[in-house]
């Protein structure tokens, strides 16, 4: 609190007196506050240590980069993977002893979103239709129990997952 004789001391005493008066009125007994009634603020805790080691994130990114470099899109289609973003995060992790994990997570989510958007352009229309047909068969048993919008969402996610699996593209985002 404050040291004796400081200009804030009377204000603090008035504040403590008001609390004591309030407690006396509520509880019906005399109540005198002591320093134990005013817990000292704790030292700000350290941020939690990330549960995934940097080496694992680095190896996932390296694996994704290797797989993306092997992808050859179907004839007449372009494939624009987020290679620049992957290298940016790799460079960050290479130099940072304790990276800003919130930033790293957001970049990894962006990479996953970009890979997901690009991966569908690496397949021909026939291949995509095969993935969609497989997804339709997989969700058919749920029709009638789950609304159609949720089924369509599941079908889209299934198609995307199958496309990533076919190319061997791992997910890198940390939830």
Instruction: Name the packing angle between helices 148-167 and 101-119 (round to 10°).
Output: 90
- Please write the tens of the pLDDT for every residue from 30-75: 877 776 776 666 666 655 656 677 888 899 999 998 988 888 776 7
**Token pair belonging to 73:** 């899109």
Q: How far apart are CA 172 and CA 113, in angstroms?
A: 10
Q: CA–CA distance from 42 to each of 16, 39, 84 (Å)?
A: 21, 8, 43
In 3D space, the residue among 127, 110, 101 whose CA is nearest the CA of residue 46 turns out to be 101
What count of other Cβ atoms lies within 10 Å of the Cβ of residue 74?
14
- Please write the tens of the pLDDT for every residue from 133-162: 998 898 888 888 888 888 889 899 999 999
The domain ranges of the chain are: 1-45, 54-167
Q: What is the pTM of this model?
A: 0.63
CA angle at 71 for the pair 68 and 76, rounded to the nearest 5°: 130
Q: Which residue has the tokens 């002591």?
A: 34
């Amino acid at each position: 609190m404050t040291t004796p004789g400081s200009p804030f001391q009377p204000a603090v005493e008035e504040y403590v007196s008001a609390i004591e008066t309030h407690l006396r009125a509520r509880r019906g007994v005399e109540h005198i506050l002591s320093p134990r009634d005013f817990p000292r603020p704790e030292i700000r805790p350290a941020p939690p240590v990330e549960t995934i080691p940097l080496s694992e994130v680095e190896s996932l990114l390296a694996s994704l980069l290797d797989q993306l470099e092997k992808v050859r899109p179907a004839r007449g289609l372009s494939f624009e993977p987020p290679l620049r973003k992957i290298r940016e995060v790799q460079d960050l992790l290479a130099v940072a002893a304790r990276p800003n994990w919130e930033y790293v997570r957001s970049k990894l989510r962006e990479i996953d979103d970009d890979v997901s958007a690009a991966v569908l352009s690496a397949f021909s229309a026939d291949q995509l239709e095969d993935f969609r047909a497989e997804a339709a068969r997989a969700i058919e048993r749920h029709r009638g129990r789950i609304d159609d919008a949720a089924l369509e969402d599941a079908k889209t996610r299934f198609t995307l997952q199958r496309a990533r699996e076919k190319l061997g593209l791992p997910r890198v985002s940390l939830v």
